[in-house]
Structure 1
Amino acid sequence: MPQLNPSPWLMILIFSWMIFLYFIPPKVSAHIFPHEPLPITIENFTTESWNWPWH
């Protein structure tokens, strides 16, 4: 049964994990968002009470 022979599958597993661990994280971490969020100031938030007539 060739499924039990680990020699070709072990190298495929090792090379695929090398790609995942060494090449992909720097590409993902170097991603820059097109619109950086601006810091929100607290002074802009003023709430007003609702004066709705409840029936």
Structure 2
Amino acid sequence: MPQLNPNPWFSIMLLTWFTFSLLIQPKLLSFTSANNPVNKTMTTKPIPWTWPWT
């Protein structure tokens, strides 16, 4: 069964993984987010739900 032979595919997978982790990933991580997360405080108190079976 030729699909079980890892000879060409294992090296292609390793080359792809190393390319992503060494070249592409640092470039993607250097970008800054356009919308920085902001802590929001609750200003209103939530209204409790009235359950019909109670």
**TM-score of the superposed pair, with normalisation by structure 1:** 0.51
In the TM superposition, residue 34 of structure 1 has moved relative to its aligned partner by 4.5
- Give the length in aligned residue pairs: 39
Q: CA RMSD in A?
A: 2.2
Counterpart secondary structure, 1:17 = helix
Q: Unpaired segments of 5 or more residues in structure 2?
A: 38-42, 44-54
Structure of larger gyration radius? 1
Q: Unpaired segments of 5 or more residues in structure 1?
A: 38-46, 48-55
Runs of 4+ in 1 over 4 A off after TM superposition: 34-37
| Residue 26 of structure 1: aligned partner | 26
**TM-score of the superposed pair, with normalisation by structure 2:** 0.51
